[in-house]
Amino acid sequence: MRIAIVILNWNGEVLLERYLPSVIQYSDGADIYVVDNASTDGSVAFVETNYPNVTVVQNAKNGGFTTGYNIGLKSVEADVYCLLNSDVEVTEGWLEPIIKAFNENKDAAIIQPKILDLMRKDHFEYAGAGGGFIDQLGYPFCRGRIFQELEEDKGQYDDIIEIFWATGACMFIKSDVFWDLKGFDEDYFAHQEEVDLCWRAKNKGYKILYVGTSHVYHLGGSTLSNMNPKKTFLNFRNSLFSLMKNLPRRKALILVLIRLLSDGVAALRFIFQLKFTHCFAILKAHLSFYRHFGKMYKRREKANFIPKYYKVKSIVWQHFVHHIKNFNDLVKH
């Protein structure tokens, strides 16, 4: 199995200097690539000067996470791509459990390791944590992370299970599957594009695994922090995109309407918190969704609603009303 570790970079010389050494040290047998999104700092020169065995692929423009990978991966030959954020510190032996899981689960197309917080290494990190799921309204959440609540890692998710979505911070995906899915949807630009990719994979019958016997540490927020209005805009809009594209038509229309109303409640909450830029970001997200409605509708393929992945009716209700903070305390129906 030929694995290519592909790091997408945009003006991240400082991050590459800090985290690329661990990737090189602990990734024997894998090819390492840096796909550069038209950086204007010294990223490319730094890699070429200090790590000549790392292949640099230079994109002509910064097309964000989606276009960056879609273009860059065309220059990468491998059986499995590991899409790795530039702010991830990998650990000794991190690849072996992933390779073993692929070998023992021939129908597995996508795999995610355990994602821990680089600043608090005994806690899970926002991006993916212990594996991703979505509730019956299409809201994504993770084991080990519900909204802003992060669980301490006590070995409770050291398992190997099937999940609904894997994080783009560290995602292993078979190359033939990536291209069968036509890559990331470039209208997403960034954020929740991995949820859409995995949902499309599920609709085509592919299997997605979480392998908790492998772990990495993620800094997080190096491109957009959790409190950046642009991230609010992308998350709210792109979540609506995914509903429209991946659910059966009647279900999609119903859930989109529910989500539009619940987004309005979220906007009011931002107003009460005096976070007016985030309220405006939600309005912009809805307007952008309306503009793209026809395009997203036409992109619908075979859409399946798979009940066994939707055991939680509403993660919003569970967290904000019942104050549930840990995945294992969620009330499942």
Give the residues across from 164 on adjacent strands. Answer: none
Mean pLDDT of 99-103: 98
Query: What is each CA distance from 230 to 15, 62, 295, 307, in whole angstroms?
Result: 22, 16, 22, 32
Judge whether residue 58 has pLDDT over 50.
yes
Mean pLDDT over the full length of the chain: 93
How does residue 221 score in pLDDT terms, banded at 50, 70 and 90? low
For residue 305, the model assigns a pLDDT of 52
* pLDDT per residue as tens digits for the range 302-326: 666 554 455 788 898 899 889 999 9
Q: What is the DSSP string of 65-134?
A: HHHHHHHHGGG---SEEEEE-TTEEE-TT-HHHHHHHHHH-TTEEEEEEEEEESSSTTBB-TTTTT-EEE
- Half-sphere exposure in the Cβ direction for 6 (13 Å, CA): 31
Give the residues across from 216 on adjacent strands. Answer: 90, 115
For residue 70, the model assigns a pLDDT of 98
Lowest mean pLDDT among 8-12, 239-243, 274-278, 319-323: 319-323
Q: What is the pTM of this model?
A: 0.93
First and final C-alpha spacing in the chain: 40
In this structure, are residues 237 and 285 in contact, taking their beta carbons and an 8 Å threshold? yes
Judge whether residue 272 has pLDDT over 60.
yes
Pair type for strands 149-150 and 145-146: antiparallel
Which of the following CATH numbers is that of domain 3-218: 3.90.550.10, 3.40.50.720, 3.30.300.340, 3.20.20.70? Answer: 3.90.550.10
In this structure, are residues 111 and 98 in contact, taking their beta carbons and an 8 Å threshold? yes
For residue 303, the model assigns a pLDDT of 65
Rounded-to-integer distance, Cα 118 and Cα 135, Å: 28
* pLDDT per residue as tens digits for the range 135-182: 988 899 999 999 889 999 999 999 999 999 999 999 999 999 999 999
For residue 307, the model assigns a pLDDT of 44
For the chain, the structural domain boundaries read: 3-218, 229-302
Judge whether residue 124 has pLDDT over 80.
yes
Mean pLDDT of 88-96: 98
